[in-house]
Amino acid sequence: MYSVALLSVHGCPVSRLGEKDTGGMNVYLLQVAKELGKLGVKVDIFTRYHDRNDPQIIKLGENARTVHLKAGPYDQAKDGLHQHIPEFLDNLYEFQRSEGLRYDIVHSHYWLSGSVGRKLSLEWNIPHVAMFHTLGKSKMQARYGERESDIRISTEGRVIESADVIVASTEQERGDLSRLYGAAVDRVRVIPAGVDTELFRPLDKVVAREDLGIKESHVILSVGRIEALKGLDILITALADLEDNNDVRLLIVGGEPRRDSYVHSLMSLVRELGLMNKVTFIGAIPQNELPKYYSAADVFVLSSYYETFGLVALEAMACGLPVVASRLGGPNSFVESGKNGYLVPWQCPEPYAQRIGILLAIPTLRVSMGAAARAKAESMTWSQVARSTVGVYHSILARSHKSALGA
């Protein structure tokens, strides 16, 4: 089988989720690497040290491991990491030579890693598969005032132009790659993300609420990184707009409430709207505790201005929870509006409040949509993602072999 160098310069698959710069991509890397390993693919995920106590090598499972490399200060912010790419590359080459490693494919994740993958592909004369998880131009289109650096945009363009195959998680992302960056559609493969349906499964709601100390009759849940693009101001305002929010609790999981200035601004909005006794900022929690929060809730809301995929929404669905999400972006590919949740066409509080209100008011609808949500999630597993990824590897290597033979 194949040996693959997975690149994730800024995102470590074993990092604590929900904090700044950690989220769905970290989960994706960990789960896909483990499943690829089970299929016999040898996987090394190269990422940077985030803590001086990180071991250099962490075994993730059969044939899969994470390799930490020095690249800038441990606490370097993501937007400054590009200046440390040369150090990352030097240390990767040194590790590869010291271990006597050879790879068949380099598979990069995010634009920072794409720039590394482009160089390794040339140096090692092997194919480069690129996945971006989020695109700078798409983000800027999604929300007024969103800004991305020129170096990011130009790097994405070069990687898209040179990569042998680009993996997108949705048809919309493939369209963005073509429309905004001029990517050749025949070089883009769509592979939706997956979910661990054994970890994320429905738990007893009463027990979950007792464990979490929830007294209210209705619970709305949001999970993920906390930043302006996630649209939590829309969700908080939607809570205030509900016709009846007297016995409702909104739980916001993710972020670092004590240190994050944006969380403080959201708390100010909560106070301004008189919702102090209805909104709880939980902060980041371990992933294995998330099923309890999903199961305690009545409805999951993803009010983001832009989501390439929206993995947390699929996790919520796996726990039997109906989802209310924006029609723009990833959830549009797996949330079937009116069947397992609702897709909101406008990024403003009123339509969110309307759909949340419907779900809170009709228990039988929540139950039927929750069952449909679980069924949909069961059709989207990480093992399927890994098999599709191996299919991409197989086709690209077969094509490279024919090219080498002059066919």
State the CATH number of the domain containing residue 13: 3.40.50.2000
Banded pLDDT at 18 (limits 50, 70, 90): very low
Residues 270 and 168 in one domain: no
Burial of 115 (0-12, 13-18, 19+ CB in 10 A): buried
- Res. 16: pLDDT tops 70: no
Res 13: pLDDT: 86
Residues 321 and 190 in one domain: no
Q: For residues 340 and 365, what is the distance between their CA atoms, to the nearest angstrom?
A: 9
- Res. 182: pLDDT tops 80: yes
Res 404: pLDDT: 54
Q: Of 282, 306, 304, whose CA–CA distance to 294 is shortest?
A: 282
Q: Is residue 12, in this structure, part of any structural domain at all?
A: yes
Local structure of 258: helix, strand or coil: coil
Give the pLDDT confidence of 98-118 residue by residue, as tens digits: 999 999 999 999 999 999 999
The b-or-e profile of 245-281 (16+ CB within 10 A means b, else e) is beebbbbbbbbebeebebbeebbeebeeeebeebbbb
Give the pLDDT confidence of 191-248 residue by residue, as tens digits: 999 999 999 999 999 999 999 999 999 999 999 988 888 999 999 999 999 999 999 9
Res 20: pLDDT: 52
Q: Is residue 102, in this structure, part of any structural domain at all?
A: yes
- Res. 41: pLDDT tops 80: yes
Q: For residues 329 and 172, what is the distance between their CA atoms, to the nearest angstrom?
A: 7
Q: Is residue 200, in this structure, part of any structural domain at all?
A: no
pTM, 2 dp? 0.91
Averaged pLDDT for residues 355-370: 97
Q: Is residue 289, in this structure, part of any structural domain at all?
A: yes
Residues 164 and 222 in one domain: no
Angle between helices 111-124 and 85-99 (to 10 degrees): 50
Contact 159, 146 (CB under 8 A): no
Residues 126 and 242 in one domain: no
Residues 374 and 392 in one domain: no
Contact 99, 84 (CB under 8 A): no
Contact 151, 128 (CB under 8 A): no
Contact 216, 248 (CB under 8 A): yes
Q: Is residue 46, in this structure, part of any structural domain at all?
A: yes
Residues 258 and 181 in one domain: no
Total count of domains within the chain: 2
Give the pLDDT confidence of 310-345 residue by residue, as tens digits: 999 999 999 999 999 998 778 999 999 999 999 998
Contact 293, 285 (CB under 8 A): yes
Averaged pLDDT for residues 297-303: 97
Residues 106 and 211 in one domain: no
Alpha carbon of 45 to those of 82, 110, 226, 264: distances in Å?
Answer: 18, 13, 26, 35
Residues 125 and 163 in one domain: yes
Contact 313, 236 (CB under 8 A): no
Res 77: pLDDT: 81
Residues 313 and 400 in one domain: no
Q: Of 377, 380, 305, whose CA–CA distance to 341 is shortest?
A: 377
Give the pLDDT confidence of 265-290 residue by residue, as tens digits: 999 999 999 999 999 999 989 889 99
Q: How many CA atoms lie within 13 A of 167 on its CB side?
A: 26
Strand extents, DSSP E, 203-247: 218-223
Residues 123 and 35 in one domain: yes
Q: For residues 206 and 217, what is the distance between their CA atoms, to the nearest angstrom?
A: 11
Sheet holding 218-223, edge to edge: 279-283, 248-253, 218-223, 299-302, 323-326, 341-344
Q: Is residue 199, in this structure, part of any structural domain at all?
A: no
Q: For residues 279 and 221, what is the distance between their CA atoms, to the nearest angstrom?
A: 10
Give the pLDDT confidence of 48-100 residue by residue, as tens digits: 998 888 899 999 999 999 999 999 998 888 888 999 999 999 999 999 999 99
Q: Is residue 213, in this structure, part of any structural domain at all?
A: yes
Q: How many CA atoms lie within 13 A of 342 on its CB side?
A: 20
Q: What Rg do the C-alpha atoms of the chain give, in angstroms? A: 21
- For the chain, the average pLDDT equals 93
Banded pLDDT at 172 (limits 50, 70, 90): very high
Residue 65: give the domain boundaries. Answer: 3-194+382-404
Residues 29 and 167 in one domain: yes
Q: Is residue 334, in this structure, part of any structural domain at all?
A: yes
Residues 49 and 181 in one domain: yes
